[in-house]
Amino acid sequence: MKRIALFILGLLAVLAALTAYLGLREDTGPPATLAGADAIARGAYLARAGDCQACHTARGGTPFAGGRAIRTPFGTIHAPNITPDKETGIGSWSADDFWRALHNGKGKDGKLLYPAFPYPNYTKVTRADSDALHAYFMSLPPVRQANKEPELRFPFNQRMLLVAWRALYFRPDIYTEQAQQNAEWNRGAYLVQGLGHCSACHTPRNILGATADKRDLGGGMIPMLDWYAASLTGESEAGLGNWEVQHLVDLMKTGISARGVVSGPMSEVVRESLQHLSDQDLRAMAVYLKSLPHGEPYVSNTAALTPEDERRIKQGAALYEKHCVECHKDTGTGEPPHFPPLAGNRAILLDSPVNPIRAVMHGGYPPSTGGNPRPFGMPPFGNVLSDEEAATVVSFIRNNWGNRASMVTGQQVNRYRTVQLD
């Protein structure tokens, strides 16, 4: 028995040591680069590509002074001040300290950072780009604004547990170009996987908040926002298999395209980040995304409709005729790009009906962009339709013009009636 006990204790000690090694190790990476004359301008562009302002600016607050509440399933994390204030910001951080945060997920003092800061993506950023970002942030006016401590539930408020999380789900890395691909593809992969951190929303997460590598960019619910981020791979769900590269470029640049319109959280991404990128970078991202392997083909719901389903769909048809037909037409074809088609729209057909429910209840508003400064918006009908009425309209849309998907209930609509602002 003693030998068994000693063996178990020894095994546990080895596992603990391995976990500590994997969870705490750092990759020093290449040395700092010499900041050229264009470093600040390049850093400003890269900060746009990374959409840094979205998290590090509170609504109505000073850019990059922090304070925005990032809600997670584990509690709330307040984005820190990243202006060059020496006491409350990152004014005392060297280029090495900044690289350490992006590449290794550790603060200047070695504190493990919560992965609400997407360092699992930013670790792929090159040292030269990290240094350009640092030069840009150091050029900003310093803002004295104290940071707030995370408000996480026990045991997630125990930061040392991140050692185990990192051991399981994080490895420092730098993007490595794929020799078999051309420069455009590699540039797109670098932006999507790294600064763009697209997988942070478009990949499902497990119960510990880590993205599922086997379904990378395969679509998933955005935690705590109750929005579904569509698949960006091939034909899987609402994927990009039938999109042309230019359609995707248009969507990222203006918020609208011949194939769809952005709304919800993606509107902010387009407004604050993507529209400011060069056409070459947007095309590179589109080329990369279009090349991703097709996932499992989407299979629509083929269960037979019951007489009750038919009755509710008929009720929904009458409400559609009253409220929706002017823009989306009786054929469901809409008038692209401003009024997207509903017929064959895979965002309508997803297993989760959250996005069409949100659109009906709260409206759909593409961002105002340089390429589309006065966007058409869909008005909200939450103040006009009851939960059950909205459910019948969405059920009708999901089961007309060749669409076939599950029926929607009033309880589902009620769940998403409340607007989440952050």
User: What would the pLDDT profile of 375-403 be if each residue is shown by its tens digit?
Assistant: 888 899 999 999 999 999 999 999 999 88
Are 319 and 392 in contact, with CB atoms under 8 Å apart? Answer: yes
Q: What is the pLDDT of residues 143-178, one digit of tens each?
A: 999 999 999 999 999 999 999 999 999 999 999 999
Q: Letter for the amino acid at 87?
A: E
Q: 390 has which bridge partners? A: none
Residue 322: the pLDDT is 94
Residue 171: the pLDDT is 92
Shared-domain flag, residues 128 and 210: no
**Residues 283, 285, 287, 293: what is their CA dihedral angle, to the nearest 10 degrees?**
-160
Q: What is the mean pLDDT of the chain?
A: 87
Report in angstroms the alpha-carbon separations of 215 from 203, 218, 240, 355.
Answer: 6, 5, 15, 20
DSSP per residue, 110-133: -PBPPTTS-HHHHTTS-HHHHHHH
Shared-domain flag, residues 242 and 332: no
Q: 205 has which bridge partners? A: 211
Residue 421 lies in a domain: no
Residue 9 lies in a domain: no
DSSP label of 224: T
Does pLDDT of 131 surpass 90? yes
Residue 12 lies in a domain: no
Q: Is 24 exposed, middle or buried (0-12, 13-18, 19+ CB in 10 A)?
A: middle
Shared-domain flag, residues 238 and 311: no
Shared-domain flag, residues 347 and 388: yes
Tell me the C-alpha distance between 108 and 13, whole Å.
Answer: 29
- What CATH number corresponds to the domain at position 382? 1.10.760.10
DSSP per residue, 184-203: HHHHHHHHHHTTT-THHHHS
What values do phi and psi take at 70, rounded to 5?
A: -100, 105
Q: Which of 51, 61, 165 is nearest to 113 (CA)?
A: 165
Of all residues in the chain, the percent with pLDDT exceeding 90 is 59
92 contact partners, CB below 8 Å, separation of at least 6: 86, 108
DSSP label of 240: S
Shared-domain flag, residues 283 and 250: yes
Q: What sign results for the dihedral spanned by CA atoms 125, 100, 135, 30?
A: negative
Sheet with 69-72, side-by-side order of all strands = 69-72, 75-78, 151-152
- What CATH number corresponds to the domain at position 219? 1.10.760
Q: Considering the entire predicted model, what is its pTM?
A: 0.88
Average pLDDT for 115-134? 96
Residue 21: the pLDDT is 45
Instruction: Give me the number of domains the chain comprises.
Output: 3
Q: 338 has which bridge partners? A: none
Q: Which of 286, 217, 293, 278 is nearest to 246 (CA)?
A: 286
Which tokens in the block code for residue 19?
């976990």
Domain range for 139 is 19-169
DSSP per residue, 291-343: HSPP-SPP----PPPPHHHHHHHHHHHHHHHHHTHHHH-TTS--BTTTB---T
What values do phi and psi take at 368, rounded to 5?
A: -80, 120
Shared-domain flag, residues 31 and 147: yes
Shared-domain flag, residues 281 and 362: no
Are 90 and 131 in contact, with CB atoms under 8 Å apart? Answer: no
Tell me the C-alpha distance between 258 and 110, whole Å.
Answer: 48
Q: Tell me if residue 290 falls in helix, strand or coil.
A: helix
Shared-domain flag, residues 148 and 225: no
Shared-domain flag, residues 224 and 325: no
Q: What is the pLDDT of residues 238-270, one digit of tens each?
A: 567 778 899 999 999 999 888 888 888 899 999
Shared-domain flag, residues 312 and 284: no
Are 35 and 136 in contact, with CB atoms under 8 Å apart? Answer: no
Shared-domain flag, residues 141 and 258: no
Average pLDDT for 171-192? 96
Q: What is the pLDDT of residues 22-59, one digit of tens each?
A: 555 677 777 777 667 799 999 999 999 999 999 999 98
Report in angstroms the alpha-carbon separations of 178 from 172, 281, 294, 362.
Answer: 18, 17, 19, 43
Shared-domain flag, residues 141 and 165: yes
Residue 130 lies in a domain: yes
